[in-house]
A and B are shown apart, each in its own frame.
Chain A
Amino acid sequence: MSDSASTTEARLPKDLAAEKGMVNVQINGVWCQVPKGTRMIEACRMFGVDVPHYCYHPKLSSPGNCRMCLVQMGMPPRPAPGQEPSYNDEGYLDIGWMPRPVIACANTVTENMGIRTTGDLVDKVRQGVMEFLLINHPLDCPICDQAGECRLQEHSVGYGRGVSRFIDMKVKKPKNVDIGPRIRLDDERCIMCSRCIRFMAEVADDPVLGFTQRGTYTTLTVHPGRKLDSNYSLNTADICPVGALTSNDFRFEMRVWFLKETKTIDVNCGTGANIIVWTRGNRVYRITPRQNDEVNSCWMPDSHRLNFHYIDGPERLTEPMVKLDGVHQPATWDQSIRLVREALTNYPAQQIAIIASSRMTNEELHMVRKLAEGHGIDQISTVPRIGESDGKLISADRNPNTTGTRLVWKREDPAFRLSAILDGVRSGEIKALLVFGEDLTAEAGFTQEDLSKPEFMASVQLLAGPTAEASHVVLPGAAFAEKRGSMVNVTGRLQRLNRAVEPPEEARDDWEILRDLAGSVGPYLIEDVFKDMAGSVSEFADLSLSKIGDLGVVVTETGVTIPLLENERARKASGEIVG
């Protein structure tokens, strides 16, 4: 008898959950198991229950100051001395609901807790919070860049009362304040959630923002004599739930509801931050970071975010050109490709060199390798691009695909032949030079004079510049937002680029140019190029572009870490953030 009683007790839900380090929580009447120590708001999110909030952000500390995430909480009443807890049929204790709401963002769950995110109490407190937030909020929506992705708008519709009861004058605060080179501040729109302050202090490590004054006069300001000029400042505009902080670059460019989102990756450094490219028609309007906790968390540097205007800039090459009597003339693709192919066959292989780029995708690099092998060309190299890591997200390797080049070309240092090629060009041993996506006068160390040395030079270029100028045949390629393909970042994660816009006018996808240069009829799909590549690169075996997914897959170990992520993990381990 006693045996069976102990088994029944051991099989109570609380014990079953405790074995797994979980606790039982009743969310809106449904019992769920969530890991011990989870914030209530995260527990709700796990089971698809949305709790509206402003100040809470999983990557930042939780001050609990916006009060929007108020929910009703209940716990079993404490038994009287000597009273045994009485479990109901399901094995839970009856919940005694508390008469006052609690914030879901800063409280953690416990065994047998009840959470209600609906009901009279919760509806009423949300309505009250919304009403307070809107006391001084201006009716700026028609001119506010945040309109369409504004939490205040959304929650106002979802949980607000619809009409204002306040007849008093609104408090005036500074508007259109220039607080930094890339960020505009509107204090009247600010709802004092302090996300930006916490971001600058905790993540960007440059605590320049803060509140002054008190009560309804609380004002977000930048420290006197300082500017919000951190290279991570634009992330504050992303996390700002209202239009208080907006981007100068995107200011009044386009309303967000017109924009199409394309998930792709950043190509400005080896980190390969995950991004969303926002486009309308064939124009890129802005780039924002996309969450990937293994690459860039929720952030990205401003310098990388804003480096897209060249895509439709005046320097962009849009049609193939052939040099006749020293002057570039527009040509057809057929003509230009034929000229390059003739050069490839006419010059002996040892007189030809190929300089490719680690800014190219794996697929393109694979085709470059095949092109070189097909003609027996041994002199192929990429251009190294080494800078300094900023200790956060920017990798010291400014090439986005160095790891991929190593894997695809099967060389530890794909750039080691560069100096030999430069010497060859200078001595005249190399008579034909093929350049893919690099401006040789930049990091490669070529001078204008060196560029005039080869008898024949062809280049696939995005922008007009010294290398395009010196090339006998210029082939316009596709920018990162215009192509599909894959890259491997510094940590060995294979990630995918997606096409957000079409290449302008005559410009073509680089892999198609490479296919035509090789003179082969197919492939017609980038998927087939990947398949072909996966056949020769063991790391990519069993993968395809669709299997890479939005967040990428680890294909190799490099031992490189991303400092910002290390910092974030440490803060998560210490319980400072949810992560």
Chain B
Amino acid sequence: MPVVKVKRPELAAGEKVYLGAIVKGFFITMKHAFDSLRGKTRGADTLKSSGLGATMQFPEQRWDDQMPEYYRGAPTLVTDEQGRERCVSCQLCEFICPPKAIRIEPGEIPNDDAWAKVEKRPKEFDIDMTRCIYCGMCEEVCPEQAIFLRKDYLITGGSRAEMVHDKKKLYEIGGVRVGLVNKWNELK
């Protein structure tokens, strides 16, 4: 590869004294400051500004309704319109989970249960949210359409134990999903 010698640009006297540039910058800053006070910041609308400048005042204001359909938030378990917990604890999500955040203890559905024919459901289902990387592989691998990544992103806790979502919490966040494949229907 040929060597290209780049010549440094010749600076004029005014350019060599950088005070001029500083003053120029100062005026630009002041222009934006006044613009923001007058509510005329560029892009304030698209960025859902809270009023002053382009900044959204989190957590008073939220980005939630702007989030795309494919946003990957906290993984959760869902029930369907028949009120059946869809997870059958096949443990494929536990297997695929790259950071090993999921732990499932399978259990048997007792014979007197309305869904006894499904035979299996999780006794315990824990997702460690300090480990979860929101990759969505659990949702992708689930053969029962039972685990979905919701838009919840504010996962906080005062201790490590609080950051572990147990089965109850997962169903609480997950809620009901309608229109999923009903594999365990009356024909089954």
Contact = CB atoms under 8 A, between A and B. Distances in A.
Interface of A: 138-139, 141-143, 147, 169, 175-176, 251-255, 257-258
B106 interface: yes
Interface string B153-164: 000000000000
Given A143-B118, A143-B119, 17 more contacts: A139-B183, A141-B143, A142-B92, A142-B120, A142-B144, A143-B88, A143-B120, A147-B90, A169-B187, A175-B117, A176-B119, A252-B89, A252-B106, A252-B107, A252-B108, A255-B90, A257-B95
B187 A142 contact: no
Contacts of A141: 90, 143
A367 B62 CA distance: 71
Contacts of A257: 95
A414 to B, nearest CB: 45
A251 B183 CA distance: 22
Given A252-B108, A253-B106, A143 B90 contact: yes
Interface in B67-117: 88-92, 94-95, 106-108, 117
B112 to A, nearest CB: 13
In the A-B complex, the 10 residue pairs with the smallest Cβ-Cβ separation, listed nearest first, are A142-B90, A143-B120, A252-B106, A255-B91, A143-B88, A142-B143, A142-B88, A143-B119, A252-B108, A252-B120
Interface in B130-173: 143-144
A143 B90 CA distance: 6
Contacts of A251: 108
A254 B103 CA distance: 11
B143 A255 contact: no
Chain A facing B: main interface SS = loop
Contacts of B119: 143, 176, 252
A156 to B, nearest CB: 15
27 contacts: A138-B188, A139-B183, A141-B90, A141-B143, A142-B88, A142-B92, A142-B120, A143-B88, A143-B90, A143-B118, A147-B90, A169-B187, A175-B117, A176-B119, A251-B108, A252-B89, A252-B106, A252-B108, A252-B119, A253-B106, A254-B91, A254-B106, A255-B90, A255-B91, A255-B95, A257-B95, A258-B94
A17 B84 CA distance: 66
Nearest to A139: B183
Contacts of A139: 183
Contacts of A253: 106
A252 B108 CA distance: 7
B167 to A, nearest CB: 16
A169 B186 CA distance: 12
Nearest to B122: A252
A147 B89 CA distance: 13
Contacts of A176: 119
Contacts of A142: 88, 90, 92, 120, 143-144
Contacts of B187: 169
A25 B117 CA distance: 51
A267 to B, nearest CB: 29
Nearest to B92: A142
Nearest to B107: A252
B114 to A, nearest CB: 15
A244 to B, nearest CB: 14
Interface centre among A141, A169, A252, A255 (most CB of B within 10 A): A252
Contacts of B94: 258
Contacts of B92: 142
Contacts of B143: 141-142
Contacts of A258: 91, 94-95
A183 B65 CA distance: 54
Contacts of B107: 252
Contacts of B144: 142
B100 to A, nearest CB: 11
A252 B121 CA distance: 9
Nearest to A175: B117
A2 B79 CA distance: 88
B13 to A, nearest CB: 75
Contacts of A169: 187
B138 to A, nearest CB: 14
Contacts of B90: 141-143, 147, 255
A253 B104 CA distance: 10
Contacts of A138: 188
Nearest to B91: A255
A103 to B, nearest CB: 34
Nearest to B89: A252
A254 B120 CA distance: 12
A50 B89 CA distance: 33
A254 B90 CA distance: 9
B103 to A, nearest CB: 11
Contacts of B117: 175
A157 to B, nearest CB: 15
Contacts of A255: 90-91, 95
B121 to A, nearest CB: 9
A231 to B, nearest CB: 25
A147 B88 CA distance: 13
B95 to A, nearest CB: 6
A496 to B, nearest CB: 31
A255 B117 CA distance: 20
A332 to B, nearest CB: 31
A94 B46 CA distance: 80
Interface centre among A143, A169, A255 (most CB of B within 10 A): A143
A176 B120 CA distance: 11
A141 B88 CA distance: 10
A252 B92 CA distance: 14
A175 B95 CA distance: 27
A169 B88 CA distance: 24
A281 to B, nearest CB: 11
Contacts of B89: 252
B88 to A, nearest CB: 5
A461 B143 CA distance: 47
A465 B178 CA distance: 56
Contacts of A254: 91, 106
A169 B95 CA distance: 33
A123 B135 CA distance: 38
Contacts of B120: 142-143, 252
Nearest to A186: B119
A53 B117 CA distance: 30
Interface string B24-62: 000000000000000000000000000000000000000
A143 B104 CA distance: 14
